[in-house]
Amino acid sequence: MKLLNMAPPPSTTKSSKTTIAYATDPSKITMADKIMGALSILMFVSTWISSLLSPFLLLRALYKGQYVWANIIIGITLVAYAPGDQKGPMAQEFHKFVWYYFPRYFQSLTVEYEGGIPPKKNSDDTSTPASNQQQQQPQQQTFYAIHPHGAFSFGWATLFCHPDLEQVRFCFAPALYASPFFRLFSRSTGTPGSASKSEMIRYMKLGNDIALPPGGFEEATLTSPNHDRVFIKKRIGFVKLCLQHGLAIRPVYCFGEKALYWNLQGGFDFRINVLNKNGLPAIVTWGHPLIPLLPRSNVDMKIVVGAPMVMPKIEDPTNEVVKQWHDKYMAALTKLFEDHKESYYGPEIAKTTKLELW
């Protein structure tokens, strides 16, 4: 399958409207970087998949009398669910490893912000790089809505490890958050959370900033290398919660996410309305030609964090008010895409490229 012509190196795509917070230099990415990046991504994806199978792996180990493996799984579970902070020295070194090599797997990767880099809460100015201090202003509690979900949410995963967002609680499917392997992996590399409604409300009441791919399994199902798609028309709940608790919303778009994997197309009614509705993923993917579990490496990734959409706090918003703000959000997300598509795709492809709202 022919891939779209991707962006030039990050240094040539800087917009006066955005701040480039992070950019890899393609000329300095070595083969060793690529290999280590592939290793870090394999750990991420394999941990994601094996976590959902962990109960069955434990039962199988017990049934087969493989008590060493059973004890390992139980031990990981106990550590994953241990209370308190798990950012000890080993976890910090692991985080540094993942953050350094993960972005270097791709052809290039940039992270840009509209409206400035978010300030780090409860931190001294001396701990913040001087280049960022001028952009740090008091801000409303924030919800980062990340699109598109893609097959394995690599844009979400990049921001999850990003030092600028280390205090943001990154939420994902409750079943995955409850599973021990990925729970431990995510607690070692960032600040994870459950995307269940009750937990989201609790995080908001605690004053946490939150990040979430609101398109969920449905947006993953729609992934196509040939289309920019988001599943958002029926995703109104997060807007209502932000209104009720007074959070600003920052739309985030990850250019390049769609090109990382081939995904089976068609049958969307059944895949979305039956499989996804019952909490089942409905993707059939193929990434790297030799190691399908890995994404394609010859892709430029550009993650753009939009400016905050300031929201009022309304404890009991009407359906009409929620819809008005949801429409504003969809318009802000579309504008973010339109403003940055040319710098990513180039002028010719950008002319015919539109963001599909499902």
Per-residue pLDDT reduced to its tens digit, 56-77: 888 999 999 999 999 999 998 9
pLDDT reported for residue 88: 74
- Cβ neighbours of 321 (radius 10 Å): 15
pLDDT greater than 60 at residue 189: yes
Which has the minimum average pLDDT: 166-175, 299-308, 319-328, 337-346? 166-175
pLDDT reported for residue 85: 60
pLDDT-derived band at 128 (thresholds 50, 70, 90) equals very low
**Residues 338, 214, 110, 112, Cα dihedral to 10°:** 60
Residues 6+ apart with CB under 8 A from 88: none
Averaged pLDDT of the chain: 88
pLDDT reported for residue 135: 45
pLDDT greater than 60 at residue 9: no
CB 301 within 8 A of CB 106: yes
Averaged pLDDT, 33-58: 91
Instruction: Name the pTM for this structure.
Output: 0.88
In single-letter form, the type of residue at position 72 comes to I
C-alpha triplet 124, 242, 214: angle, nearest 5°: 100
pLDDT reported for residue 175: 86
Averaged pLDDT, 312-340: 97
pLDDT reported for residue 158: 96
